[in-house]
Structure 1
Amino acid sequence: MAKIKKKLTPAQRRIKKAATSERQKKYQWVFMSGKQVKIKLPPTVDGIPVDQFIDENADPIWLHQNEVWELMPVEEPIPAPASPTEAVVMEDENGIPF
């Protein structure tokens, strides 16, 4: 005896289609050990991977607060003058060095 499959109503079809599209946005299919498996998609911000977004948009204070020091911009040290004659001597308004 064959069972007759009951057709879905238009409202049920809409709900099923919406649920399917949501799942497709959250997961992707990949092959592991010769088998097809579903894995969660890596997190993104505005379609950009999170690591790349942080590289482009984080300021040094946020990076320090979140202990992401490897991404902190490195400031180059001020080079020392080569000889004392090239050093700038600070003088007051009377011409006396201090």
Structure 2
Amino acid sequence: VILPGAAYTEKAGLYVNTEGRVQMAERVVFPKGQAKEDWAILRALSALVGQTLPYDTLDALRSKLMADHPTFGRIDYLPAPASFDVGSLGKKGDLGD
């Protein structure tokens, strides 16, 4: 099975970088040939198997994503780092000794 997915430069997307920031990327060029954006391929496949996804547009898909996971609506926001007790690292048994 070959799914003609568009390259990252050929589609709009949301990405999470290594800092945990959600970043938005815009399409630079249109996909070549019969290539489609990933969400459009999955939407078409869902219709073929009789389980049609309720997203007809990228905006509808993003609205659902952001409603279910509000973090994805916070573009370029840096989440607070996780904290832990550094003092507990020196206790015997904590590091497998």
Question: Taking structure 1 as the reference length, what is the TM-score of the superposition?
Answer: 0.18
More strand by share: 1
Structure 1 or 2, whichever has the larger Rg, is 1
Question: Taking structure 2 as the reference length, what is the TM-score of the superposition?
Answer: 0.18
Between 1 and 2, higher relative CO (CA 8 Å, sep ≥ 6) is seen in: 2
